[in-house]
Structure 1
Amino acid sequence: MESQALMPKKPKVTPSLAFTTLVACFGSIQYGYHMAELNAPAQVLSCSKYVNPWPDTPYDQTWLGSHGFNECIRLSEEQLGLATAIFSIGGLAGSLYAGKLADRYGRKRYSFVNCIVGILGSLVLFRANTYAQLIAGRFIVGICCGSSIVVTPLFINEISPQELRGSMGSMNQVCINLGILVTQLLALYLADSFRWRWLMFTGAILALANLLLLFKVDESPVWLASQGDVDGAESVLHSLRGGELHNTRDEVEEWLTARGSSRGGGSYHSNPRRLSPPIRAASQQSSLLSSQDTHDRLSVAQYFTDPRYTKSRWAIAVILMSQQFCGINSLIFYGVRVISGQLPQYALAVNFAISIVNLVATFGASLLVDHWGRKPLLISSAGSMSVATAFVSLGIVTDSSGVLVTFTIIYVCVFALGLGPIPFLVISELSPPEARGIAQSYGTTCNWIATFIVGYGFPFLHRWLGGYVFLVFTAYAAGFTAYVKYEIPETKGKLEADLRWRE
């Protein structure tokens, strides 16, 4: 009975932890929103289609028309593709510096400034009357979103108990899909020649809401401890976790002990029956501290030349690029265009329905990550995507709208169950503590490059291959499935040193 009393209780999601996670994930909502914001209005925005919601009202008599906003921006197919894909270049730029600045100034303060960047970019998009202005706005919101996709999982990892880190981290992908859903919902009403600019303006509202909510949350306790503010770290951690204060103090003390430092005095070791978290969980949490301290000492050159990082570096590159090369953003960026070939009148509604399914499936996946493990979910997700894209291609080639819609939904669902949430989660799990900061930037960079290639290249391949373009994704997803099966170790609940790489 006594031993049972001394066993640590399973951590719970407190209201404070849930709220802080939601605020942290608001950056992911912006990311999803901006990824998909040109999908539905692309044709009316580029003057290739005219949709008048008020036949009796000329555009120059509307508020936008009377204030100098053009009805559309005349764009070629190539220009529209670049406007869509330049978001990824901005994202790459933002992700490259986000980790270091967040380490220097704190996750909360950096996120605050990043929201201001998001507001600015959205307002540039709203005001854009030329191709150059559209490109500039997309690039700026890309910077904001690229920074968010680095800082959000970092922040969540640092506030979540080890046992809940996979599930809480999956909320990042859930909120990305929530942002996509918000875009598609608004597009049902605003994706016409008169109102498409309000879709751009909504991005500024989301960024402003995120900025205001940041006033209601505390800084990351791990970052506070890394800056020497141990009392502040304890206070924040206790508000997030609840429970007894001495348990919180014990956890912070474990971080500092595993880090090789101490607050001094040894007063926290005076009680031999204190409740402390398992050493493995403490070591994994403290490694977040260590990665901050050693980020500057490990150079980029060392990361790319030291053989100790070769296997993890290749694995991170393949997983993060494959998330895109399996084709998901061909639908996020151009889904309305793909579906409108078979269902021109219902393309927006079908795209919205797919977004709902995507969100629900992603939320369900968040409950599985810590139960089934990373590797089985990646294999089943990528393998199923390979099959689904083959049928998507069949639906387009045979002009079968039922097959197209059914397997597009299946494709999105199985992506959400594995290849959506897991890649960003496993970057830190595959990397040694001293390399995690660089690895996060490296993996995110790989992902952005792949996003740009898909975003810019898909319209050309679609025009060249038609529906057969999805067979390219079929072949790639099948190859990636085999790679994960034979080359990637399971990372669930393991330290990097315990991973079993294939010799």
Structure 2
Amino acid sequence: MATTAIPSPPVHADRPTEPSTATNNEDAYIAIRNSPKDTGLEQPRASTSWRASRRSTSRVRLSRLESMMHEEHAKALIPAPILWVTIVVALMGSFQFGWLLSQLNFRPFNNGCAAKAIEEGTCIMFPHHSGNEWTMAVSGWILGGAIGAMGSGAPADKFGRQKTIMMNAIIMVVGGIVEAVSSEIYLFSVGRVISGIASGAAINVCNVLISEISPTNMRGMFSTGLQVGVAFGSLAVTTVHYFVGLGSGWRILVGFPIVLGIAQFLLIPFTSKSPVWLVAHGHHDLAHKELKRLYRPCNTEAILNAMIAAHEEEVKETAGINTWAALFSKKYRKQLIIAIVLCSAQQLCGINAVMYY
């Protein structure tokens, strides 16, 4: 079946013109071998990069995957079942985030703890704890979340999104176990910190993974899934409060993330790796295979070539550049200020007081 010809990207003055291989009914990308096992695929190849063109001409926010290929190829990506499975398993981390977010937001847990004689149905968790100790337990999850969010990038880049989510599921289980078996509030706070690390890492890595595998027509839905997962997790734990919140039932409530972590760990092998990450690490054969698994039949060879070319272009652009220096450079100053203002406004509006206390 003939493919639609795709025009070459605009030629920049500082970039030499590459010979085009396109005709009226041929694709503009250089063909590659069909066998993903062919070692020839691992060799660097020349191809047209659409990265600069897409970044300069697109009027919408592009996902990581979309920015590496031609618009028509991006539109042709139709999800296969494995993509849905990958998204759902990844979003289990956002559900855990929402669960931990409102986990302690139940008044009988810490109400009336200052009284000499604790009345029935009050101060259920760790009787006679002080206000400062309760604040420590609540805030421990926030501290862990910051650590997880900041520290998850390195393992995700080194080991891949899939393996990082699997390792994070183990942290999720450990945090839940520590919380569930705690006999005093200080150990419980340690468990909250561990669970927070899992929550922060889950949101970060899940967001990156979704950006790297989302097709154009479903990008918004998948990205919104993060917030939906958090909302459902928060709603679920708030509902459960009224069923297991009294007596020792709180241990079931804080231990539920153990089930989530085990389920996610067992389901991860049935998900797909990120083709973007695979290309960045030179695993072109495997990236080609994952593209075929993630999407319905399409021109995966042309897409792979475009991804390789885009990555090579990106490597050349960032060679010798200090990441932190670039972040605070004049080029990105406006974006950095907007991001800081938005995050600060979210924190200063008082939403944390509502959610945590």
TM-score normalised according to structure 1 size: 0.52
The aligned runs of 1:280-359 (5 Å cut-off) are: 290=314, 294=318, 297-304=321-328, 306-334=329-357
Match of 1:43 among 82, 90, 108: 108
Q: Which residue of structure 1 lines up, in the alignment, with residue 93 of structure 2?
A: 27
Counterpart CA distance in 2 for 1:190 and 1:12 is 43
Alignment partner, residue 114 of structure 1: 168
Match of 2:58 in 1: none
Q: Say if 2:324 is the partner of 1:256.
A: no
Local SS of the residue matching 1:123:
helix
Distance of 2:337 and 2:111 partners within structure 1: 40
For residues 251-288 of structure 1, give each alpha carbon's deviation from its aligned partner in whole angstroms, at most 9, with x where no partner exists: 12111122336xxxxxxxxxxxxxxxxxxxxxxxxxxx
Task: Pick from 17, 26, 29 the counterpart of residue 83 of structure 2.
Answer: 17
Deviations 1:338-395 (A, max 9, x none): xxxxxxxxxxxxxxxxxxxxxxxxxxxxxxxxxxxxxxxxxxxxxxxxxxxxxxxxxx
Residues 173 and 261 in structure 2, CA contact (< 8 A), matched pair in contact too: yes
* Structural RMSD (CA): 2.8
Residue 51 of structure 2: aligned partner: none
CA-CA distance at 1:328 after TM superposition: 3.0
> In the alignment, which of 69, 88, 95 is matched to residue 142 of structure 2?
88
Report how many aligned residue pairs link the two structures. Answer: 285
Indicate conservation of the 8 Å contact 1:52/1:193, yes or no.
yes
Question: 1:321 Cα deviation (Å)?
Answer: 2.8
Asked whether the equivalents of residues 28 and 172 of structure 1 are also in contact (C-alpha less than 8 Å), the reply is yes
User: Do 2:152 and 2:204's aligned partners in 1 also have CA atoms closer than 8 Å?
Assistant: yes
Amino acid at match of 2:327: Y
Tell me, yes or no, if structure 1 residue 72 matches structure 2 residue 96.
no
- Residue 39 of structure 2 corresponds to none
Of 227, 233, 239, the match for 1:173: 227
Structure 2 length as normaliser, TM-score?
A: 0.72
For the residues of structure 1 that align with 2:179 and 2:146, how far apart are their CA atoms? 19
Judged with a 3 Å threshold, the aligned counterparts in structure 2 of structure 1 residues 87 and 294 are, in CA distance, closer, same or farther, namely: farther
Q: Shift in Å at residue 43 of structure 1?
A: 2.9
Cα distance, 1:74 vs. partner? Answer: 2.7
Do the aligned partners of residues 296 and 319 (structure 1) sit closer, same or farther apart at CA in structure 2, a change above 3 Å counting? farther
Distance, in Å, in 1 between the alignment partners of 2:316 and 2:202 is 18
Which of 229, 240, 253 does residue 283 from structure 2 map onto?
229
Q: How far does residue 4 in structure 1 lie from its aligned partner after superposition? A: 8.1
1:242 match = 296
SS of the residue aligned with 1:219?
coil
Is contact 1:91-1:147 (8 Å) kept? yes
1:472 paired residue number: none
Q: SS at 1:75's partner residue?
A: coil
Over 3 Å counting, the alpha-carbon distance change for 1:50 and 1:192 in structure 2 is farther
- 1:209 to 1:291, Cα distance in 2 relative to 1, 3 A: farther
Letter in 2 for 1:214: I
Structure 1 Cα separation of the partners of residues 127 and 171 of structure 2: 24
CA contact (8 A) 1:46 1:74 kept: no
C-alpha displacement of 1:235: 1.2
1:97 maps to 151
Are the counterparts in 1 of residues 279 and 311 from structure 2 also a CA contact under 8 Å?
no
Amino acid at match of 1:298: N
On the 8 A contact 2:85/2:270 being kept in 1, the answer is no
What is the DSSP-based 3-state SS (H/G/I as helix, E as strand, rest coil) of the residue aligned with 2:94?
helix
- For 1:22 and 1:103, the matched residues in 2 are separated by 21
Offset, 1:211: 1.0
What is the distance in 1 between the residues matched to 2:305 and 2:256?
Answer: 44
| Correspondence for 1:190 | 244
Structure 2 residues without counterparts, runs of 5 or longer: 6-24, 26-71
Change (3 A) 1:101 1:165: same
Which whole-Å deviations, capped at 9, do the CAs of 1:39-87 have from their partners, x for residues lacking one?
Answer: 12x533576375569xxxxxxxxxxxxxxxx963432223212211221
C-alpha displacement of 1:13:
3.9
Deviation digits for residues 185-227 of structure 1, max 9, x if unmatched? 2212011123111101111111111111112112111111111
Cα distance change, pair 207–293 in 1 and its aligned pair in 2 (3 A): farther
Q: Greater helix share, 1 or 2?
A: 1
Task: Give, as a single letter, the amino acid of the residue that structure 2 aligns with 1:238.
Answer: K
- 8 A Cα contact 1:226 1:292, kept in partner: no
Distance, in Å, in 1 between the alignment partners of 2:319 and 2:172 is: 27
Q: Please state whether the residue corresponding to 2:221 is helix, strand or coil.
A: helix
- Offset at residue 182 of structure 1 (A): 2.0
Looking at structure 1, the residues matched to 222 and 319 of structure 2 have their Cα atoms a distance apart, in angstroms, of 25
* In 1: Cα distance, 2:211 partner to 2:134 partner: 37
| Native 8 Å contact 1:128 1:134 kept in 2 | yes
Q: Which amino acid aligns with 1:34?
A: L
- In 2, Cα distance between equivalents of 1:311 and 1:213: 41
Q: 1:419-430 residue pairs with structure 2 within 5 A?
A: none
State, as a whole percentage, how many aligned pairs show the same letter.
28
